[in-house]
Amino acid sequence: MNKPVVVYTDASVDPERGVGGLAVLGLVQAKGGGRFSASLALPVGDSTLAEAWAVKLALEVVLLTLGPQTPVTVFCDNESVVEHLQNGKRNGRQDLNRALEGVARLKGLLRVTFRHKPRCSTPEMRWVDARAKEALEWARKGGPIQASKPEPSRAKPKGLLWRILRWILGG
């Protein structure tokens, strides 16, 4: 049986510039289990969508590092996102629904529980909040993933991070 993991997620967005930062902290709940973290700067102008992408990033990392059927508890500070994920609710927003459906696919491969935890209410939530803000600042400064799409003539990036990003974005 896979070791259970608790994951904390957060996102920070600058809607005027259309960029955001995601952060994930995972703590494996077993003696000597370890921890993992990830942060990502990317083009996004909506905090609810960014929070859903942060959850999707977290589940991708768990699936890739700990394997299928891993028990996962995900803490998110956005009540709306948690409600959507718990109840399988969708709304009229195609971009948000695509992200939520991606999370649902991952939920089918893992054993996931979604929980709301207020912003900065624990040391872990403060940690992901700070990392999401750092990723947002990186995005504002034109970090590796920028708000503009690559021109067709440019070579596309390859590798695990790019595949995870394409999965998150539903591409």
CATH number of residue 128's parent domain: 3.30.420.10
Q: What is the extent of the structural domain holding 85?
A: 5-169
Domain count for the chain: 1
Residue by residue, pLDDT tens for the chain (171 residues) are 588 899 999 999 988 888 888 888 888 877 677 888 888 888 888 888 999 999 998 999 899 888 899 999 999 998 988 988 888 777 778 888 888 888 999 999 999 999 998 887 888 888 888 888 888 888 888 765 533 333 333 434 445 555 665 665 665
CA distances from 49 to 31, 71, 87 (A): 35, 24, 17
Catalogue the E-assigned strands of 77-138: 111-116
Q: What pTM was estimated for this model as a whole?
A: 0.79
How far is the C-alpha of 65 from the C-alpha of 72, rounded, in Å?
12
Residue 147 CA to chain centroid, in angstroms?
A: 17
Buried b (16+ CB within 10 A) or exposed e, 125-143: bebbbebbbebbebbeeeb
